Amino acid sequence: MSNNLIPALTTAPISFGASESLRIKELEAQASAFRNSVICAFNQLLDLKDLNTGVHSTRLAEWGMRVGQELGLEEAALQNLEVASLLHDIGKVGIPDSILRKPGKLDPEEYALMKKHSEYGWAVLRMLPGFERAALDILHHHESFDGKGYPAGLKDTEIPVVSRIVCVIDAFDAMVSSRPYRKGLPHEEAVRRLKEASGTQFDPVVVECFLTFAQAEMATVFAAAGTSVSSAL
Ligand SMILES: [Fe+2]
Q: Which residues of the chain fall short of a pLDDT of 50?
A: 1-7, 51, 228-233
pLDDT in the model for residue 164: 98
Beta carbons of 135 and 88 less than 8 angstroms apart: no
Question: What pLDDT is stored for residue 167 in this prediction?
Answer: 96
Residues 180-204 have pLDDT tens digits of 667 788 888 889 999 999 999 999 9
What is the CA 195 to chain-centroid distance, rounded? 21
Structure confidence at residue 19 (pLDDT): 86
| Confidence (pLDDT) at 230 | 46
Q: How many angstroms is it from 74 CA to the middle of ligand 1?
A: 24
pLDDT at 158: 98
What does the alpha-carbon distance between residue 142 and residue 118 come to, in Å, rounded to a whole number?
8
The pLDDT of residue 82:
92
Q: Give the model's pLDDT for residue 13.
A: 61
CA of residue 92 to ligand 1 center, whole Å: 8
Q: What is the 3-state secondary structure (H, E, C) of 54-119?
A: HHHHHHHHHHHHHHHHHCCCCHHHHHHHHHHHHHCCHHHHHCCHHHHCCCCCCCHHHHHHHCCHHH
CA 118 – ligand 1 centroid, Å: 6
Is residue 194 within 8 Å of residue 171, measured between CB atoms?
Answer: yes
Q: Tell me the three state secondary structure of residue 182.
A: strand
Query: Cα of 153 to ligand 1 centre, how many Å?
Result: 15
Q: Which residues contact 183 (CB under 8 A, 6 or more apart)?
A: 233
Could you tell me the CA-to-CA distances from 176 to 69, 71, 182, 183 in Å, in that order?
A: 23, 24, 11, 8
- 13 C-alpha to center of ligand 1: Å? 44
Q: Ligand 1 centroid to 85 CA: how many Å?
A: 10
Nearest of 59, 82, 54 to residue 69 by alpha carbon: 82
Beta bridge partners of 198: 202
How far away, in angstroms, is 89 Cα from ligand 1 center? 5
What was the pLDDT predicted at 160?
98
